Amino acid sequence: MSKKSVVNFIGRVIDYRKQAPIRGAKVSLNTDDISLVSYTDLEGIYRFQVSPDKSKNVRAEISVEASGYKRYQRLISLSSNQKDLGDIWLGAPSQQNSNQDGSLTPLIAVIIIAFLIFLLLAITNSPRRGSINNRNPRNDSIDYELRR
């Protein structure tokens, strides 16, 4: 196939827990007419080259196999207008993951932790009312006289 006669589809495979790319994952793309296999690179990116006549609104099954992860399968629609197949998250609790906003969960966790740290610092650094009201004025005058 020459470069002019192919459509390049691209996607990425990511570890849900580590928020890191998974390299060496086997990604398969199957339609009624084609069966392709690609492996993810160091950045978790995979690519498929499909001839234009086989990439116009075609239903396909994409599956991912990676060591230490549950096998992932999903039906997708191939279109030469939409070449980015999105992110596939492996190791997610529900495993229903691609193109969902899984990045929102870590953000919420960071916000909650930051709020708790702020609250803890505010409590520990607040002035103690009891220490100001319980000062003995006599001790202040004794200290003053001793310093002379």
User: What single letter denotes the amino acid at residue 100?
Assistant: Q
- Which segments of the chain have a pLDDT < 50? 1-2, 95-101
Are 85 and 9 spatial neighbours (Cβ–Cβ below 8 Å)? Answer: yes
**Res 26: pLDDT:** 97
Are 113 and 38 spatial neighbours (Cβ–Cβ below 8 Å)? Answer: no
Q: Please enumerate in sequence order all residues whose Cβ is within 8 A of that of 43, keeping only pairs 6 or more positions apart, or say none.
A: 12, 21, 23
User: What single letter denotes the amino acid at residue 69?
Assistant: Y
Are 46 and 40 spatial neighbours (Cβ–Cβ below 8 Å)? Answer: yes
**Res 137: pLDDT:** 57
**Res 23: pLDDT:** 95
**Res 62: pLDDT:** 95
Q: Please enumerate in sequence order all residues whose Cβ is within 8 A of that of 100, keeping only pairs 6 or more positions apart, or say none.
A: 89
* Reported pTM: 0.58
Write the CATH number of the domain with boundaries 7-90.
Answer: 2.60.40.10
- Which residues make up the CATH 2.60.40.10 domain(s) of the chain? 7-90
Residue at token pair 């790319």:
21
**Res 27: pLDDT:** 97
Q: Is 40 exposed, middle or buried (0-12, 13-18, 19+ CB in 10 A)?
A: buried
